[in-house]
Amino acid sequence: MIEENNKAKAVIQEFEKRRGERATYESAWKDIRQFVRPNTVDFNATSSPGDVRTERMYDSTAMQANSDLANEVVADLFSPAERTFGIAVAGDVQLNRDPDVIEWTDYVSEVIFSAYSDERSQLTSSVHEVIQDVTAFGNGIILQEWSVDEQQLIFQSKPLASCYFALNKDNLVDSMYRFEEMTVKQIVEKFPDATWEDKDKDPMDRKYCVIHAVYPRKAEGSGYRGKMAFESCWVLKEKKAVINEGGYRSFPYHTPRWNKVADEVYGRGPAINCLPAIRMLNKMKLTAIRAAQKATDPTVWLPSEGIRMPPKDFPGAVNYYDKSEFPNGFSLQQHEHRGNFPVTLEMMEAERLEIKKAFYTDWLEWFPKAERQTAEEIRELTARKLTKMAPLMGRLQTELLVPMIQRSFELKMAAGEIPDPPQILQGRLLKVAYVSASARAQAASEANALILFAQQVIPLGQLDQKILKKINWNNYVEELAIKQRVSRRILRDDDEVAAMLEEEARQEQLMQMAGAAEPVSKAALNFAQAQAV
């Protein structure tokens, strides 16, 4: 019990340390949460479920721009209808063309993709939420675990407000300290063996702050945790009690970052680059709304013989003036608003353009229109747009997709859903071969270059046959298939092609021998008939 208390205190101390280190980021994140990503957990922890979170938002340009960018990123990275990744042998092109290797790697990729497409995994909804956090705050957190009940991969997005992480020597996230509020009923259901002081006296609806800490195992342990690379510890903060311990073979949290400054732990998203414009536009929109209200519902002045109150200047306000100042009779006056609306609207539009540019809307929507466009021209324009996205996807592929697929492979292998690899792969390092829409667009451009080259060379070959012999057409076909992402199953290996050519040559030789033997047979037949006569 003393050892557990010390461990709980150590986890809480590390949790508070990480929370203190992140405080400088949160001042900007609070504004981003308010104006860009209101539908997420508040960093002040003051909002409640069901609260209206846009009451102080007067312009939705930034929120819409963030949503558009996130949708484009999700569409590029994930496709529920098309597998965009594969498993390959690292650094060995020839081995990746081995039939047994192709069959096994393709089967493994299909097993993982099938799990991702399963609605029970919740991958699609979780990734969409995480990417919206990444494009807004620059950071996102998704948890991947194995459901024993469902026998299925399970993904859950976690709010940035409740997660604090640390980096390893390679600047990759390897430690997570996450808190969540749980009732006693929820704690008991999740951890039936959990115990703490005065547990029996706690009402079932009482809420506690529960910390989940995952960090690299520092020393060899014993039993189940001794086989795991990462420790998992659940701590009841108020009671300073460990309520559950476990472990993971690989880090279960995936933490993509949009962009990162050297020596910083947390990433920075597009919103941070235009945050002054977001704040300014919100204030300008409020001012414009008030001005429009005053213009359409002006302040009214009425005569009065009584005590006059201080003048009011809000829309629809009623003020009173001394009747004796107008001896000629009753007079109702309306205050004329003289704000310069065109200038205000021009300034607001300039701020909107700056925000949209920060969220890459200018080239996400870029699609030059012509009176007539061929299908090839449209494909080329789409490829150019997707190619521009490739640099943005690099970090997301490294910090989200690759570790996610690697962990899925590990969990599926441990569950016995992936067969052992061929003997030729024993001791070989595998890698994730990811092919996003932007990567496919770039490869398509390279394939088009190969096709154009062939179209230019073949007519020259009619003038000089030696020109065509300079090209290894066998390699050309293989390279074109690779660039166009054609399944490797349809390509025969060199040995199979050689065997086919040898068989064709043998059949041709037999036909030639049969053709040569036919006149001799006829002569012999004629001679035999002549002898009989």
Q: What is the pLDDT of residues 173-215, one digit of tens each?
A: 999 999 999 999 999 999 999 888 888 888 999 999 999 999 9
- Residue 475 pLDDT > 70: yes
Q: Which residue has the higher pLDDT, 509 or 227?
A: 509
Query: How does residue 375 score in pLDDT terms, banded at 50, 70 and 90?
Result: low
402-442 pLDDT, tens digit each? 999 999 999 999 999 998 888 888 888 888 887 766 666 66
- Which region among 205-219, 220-234, 273-287, 393-407 has the lowest average model confidence (pLDDT)? 220-234
Mean pLDDT of the chain: 81
Mean pLDDT for 12-28 is 92
Q: Which residue has the higher pLDDT, 449 or 306?
A: 449
Mean pLDDT for 490-503 is 75
pLDDT at 333: 59
- Residue 388 pLDDT > 80: no
Residue 321, phi then psi, degrees to nearest 5: -125, 165
- CA–CA gap between residue 87 and residue 402 (Å, rounded): 11
Which segment, 106-115, 300-309, 479-488, is predicted with the most confidence on average?
106-115
Residues in a beta bridge with 210: 180, 236
Using alpha carbons only, what angle is made at residue 38 by residues 255 and 32, rounded to the nearest 5 degrees? 65
Q: What is the pTM of this model?
A: 0.76
- Which region among 120-134, 182-196, 345-359, 470-484 has the lowest average model confidence (pLDDT)? 470-484
Please state the domain extents for the chain.
2-72+118-268, 276-360, 437-491, 496-533
Burial letters 41-67, b for 16+ CB under 10 A, else e: ebbeeebeeeeeeeeebbbebbbebbb
Query: How does residue 376 score in pLDDT terms, banded at 50, 70 and 90?
Result: low
Q: Is the Cβ–Cβ distance between 164 and 15 less than 8 Å?
A: yes
Those residues whose C-beta lies under 8 Å from the C-beta of residue 254, and which sit 6 or more positions away, are 141, 142, 143, 144, 399, 400, 403, 404, 407
